[in-house]
Amino acid sequence: MYNVNILLFNFLKKENFFLLKNKNNDFFKDKNILITGSSGLIGVNLLIFFFLLSKTSNSPKKITSLYKTNIPKFLKYIKISKKFKFIRCDLSKELSNKISSKFDIIFHCAGYAQPSKFISDPIATLCLNSFAIDNLLKRIVYKGNFIFLSSSEVYSGLEGTVSEDRTGLTTTSHKRACYIEGKKYGETLLQIYKNKLKLNLKIIRLCLAYGPGVRINDTRVMSQFIDQLIKRKNIKMIDDGKAIRSYIFISDVIKIMLNIIIKGKDSIYNIGGKEKISIFDLAKKISKYFNNAKVYKKILAKKNFSAPKNAFVSIKKYENELGKMKLIKIDNGLEKTIKWHKLLYEK
């Protein structure tokens, strides 16, 4: 009988293997690297990349992984590597005393990217983008590299495609304020410390990453649709699905993040997709992979999380500086993502 965890691990290795072709990967050679939130979508794929890189001449010195929820079992093949150290830690409360060294590069990816989670624990959400950053800055070398995973949610309240020179118009009483204002606070705090510590600071305002690396019961819309189809053969939506979204596949996210870290000249960059799609059309597109299963609108009564009507960002700044992005089309990305979810359910 085959081992599903091996299949999942190999799946992620295959999706990220192309990243080794980057001629600038020597940037990471012999670096001491910290990744927070390493059990999430971004963190998992970063770990896979650095695992692959650790087998090359550009291997980092050490990769330390901080996580709160359990590390997925398919990552046990990384845990046995001497290059990696895994530490369980709730950054919203304290920084683990097991961390004594300083780091050349810190990826701060910890946080609740799923609305239902960050709304249910607003204090922790705020702390992860304030108190936690303050603690992490005590663990970075002078002139080190700090990468903060912010969000396109900082543009909430604005209409149309948004660029990095603006932030949103929502108030502190907004239902998502703990996340929106938390990200703004984190960005501000880092901008202050940037000059004090001479940081190579990169703030990534990410808009809707998806793909292999998510877990079962992920509460984001795309994952919910796929999971519903696997479990009950239809999709029951919570509204009419008119909201417009622009998704970006996870391997594209990692590629762009690495390019920004290595070659980016500024501190703040949007990362997002080029294709736009309504939530309803997304549901219909996913249903095609399940024999055109039924999609029902306005069936479930569910709490309103004040989600934005539209979510897409301008990527002109990145493309003008670092070159045009050739992104994975959503049809190709969905096919891979659905295969990933189906494998998860085989466990």
Q: Is residue 158 part of a domain?
A: yes
Residues 201 and 133: their CA atoms lie apart, in Å, by: 13
Mean pLDDT of the chain: 92
Q: What is the pLDDT of residues 110-122, one digit of tens each?
A: 976 666 667 778 8
- Left if phi > 0, otherwise alpha if psi is -120 to 50, otherwise beta: which for 165? alpha
Residues 238 and 299: their CA atoms lie apart, in Å, by: 6
How do beta strands 140-151 and 103-108 pair?
parallel
- Average pLDDT over every residue of 5-10: 95
In which band, very low, low, confident or very high, does the pLDDT at 308 lie, cut at 50, 70 and 90?
Answer: confident
- Average pLDDT over every residue of 146-167: 93
Q: Is residue 239 part of a domain?
A: no
Looking at the 3D structure of the chain, how many domains does it have? 1
pLDDT at 153 over 90: yes
Q: Is residue 345 part of a domain?
A: no
pLDDT at 292 over 70: yes
Strand residues in 118-183 grouped as ranges (E): 140-151
In Å, the largest CA–CA distance within the chain is: 57
C-alpha 316: how far from chain center: 20
pLDDT of residue 326: 92
- Average pLDDT over every residue of 24-38: 97
Structural domain containing residue 263: 4-212+247-272+308-322
Among 245, 182, 237, which Cα is nearest to 210's? 245
Query: What CATH number is attached to the domain comprising 137?
Result: 3.40.50.720
pLDDT at 225 over 90: yes
DSSP 180: H
pLDDT at 144 over 90: yes
Percent helix, strand, coil in the chain, to 5, is 40, 20, 40
* CA distances, 255 to each of 34, 68, 249 (Å): 18, 25, 10
Q: What is the pLDDT of residues 169-190, one digit of tens each?
A: 888 998 889 999 999 999 999 9
Cβ contacts of 327-332, under 8 Å, gap ≥ 24 = 327/248, 327/249, 327/252, 327/273, 327/274, 328/249, 328/251, 328/252, 329/275, 330/247, 330/249, 330/273, 330/275, 330/277, 330/285, 331/285, 332/249
Whether this prediction's pTM lies above 0.85 is answered by: yes
Q: Which helix (H) or strand (E) holds 344?
A: helix 330-344
- Of 111-120, 283-292, 305-314, 326-335, which gets the smallest average pLDDT? 111-120
pLDDT at 347 over 70: no
Residues 90 and 103: their CA atoms lie apart, in Å, by: 19
- Average pLDDT over every residue of 204-224: 93
Q: What percent of the chain has pLDDT over 90?
A: 75
Q: Is residue 218 part of a domain?
A: no
Please report, in angstroms and rounded to a whole number, the separation of the first and last CA atoms in the chain.
Answer: 12
b/e sequence 199-235, b meaning 16+ C-beta within 10 Å: bbbbbbbbbbbbbbbbeeebebbbbbbbbbbeeeeeb
Residues 24 and 254: their CA atoms lie apart, in Å, by: 14
Q: Is residue 203 part of a domain?
A: yes
Q: How many other CB atoms are found less than 10 A from the CB of residue 299?
A: 13
Residues 48 and 78: their CA atoms lie apart, in Å, by: 8
Q: Is residue 298 part of a domain?
A: no
Q: Is residue 295 part of a domain?
A: no
Among 100, 126, 118, 124, which Cα is nearest to 34's? 100
pLDDT of residue 205: 97
In this structure, are residues 176 and 157 in contact, taking their beta carbons and an 8 Å threshold? Answer: no
The residue among 216 and 342 whose pLDDT is bigger is 342
- Average pLDDT over every residue of 88-113: 89
- Average pLDDT over every residue of 124-144: 93
Q: What is the pLDDT of residues 44-81, one digit of tens each?
A: 999 999 999 999 999 999 999 999 988 889 998 998 89
The residue among 124 and 1 whose pLDDT is bigger is 124
| Residues in a beta bridge with 277 | 245
In which band, very low, low, confident or very high, does the pLDDT at 331 lie, cut at 50, 70 and 90?
Answer: very high
In which band, very low, low, confident or very high, does the pLDDT at 2 lie, cut at 50, 70 and 90?
Answer: low
Write down how long the chain is: 347
* CA-derived radius of gyration, the chain: 19
pLDDT of residue 1: 40
Residues 246 and 47: their CA atoms lie apart, in Å, by: 25
Q: Is residue 94 part of a domain?
A: yes
- Average pLDDT over every residue of 19-41: 96
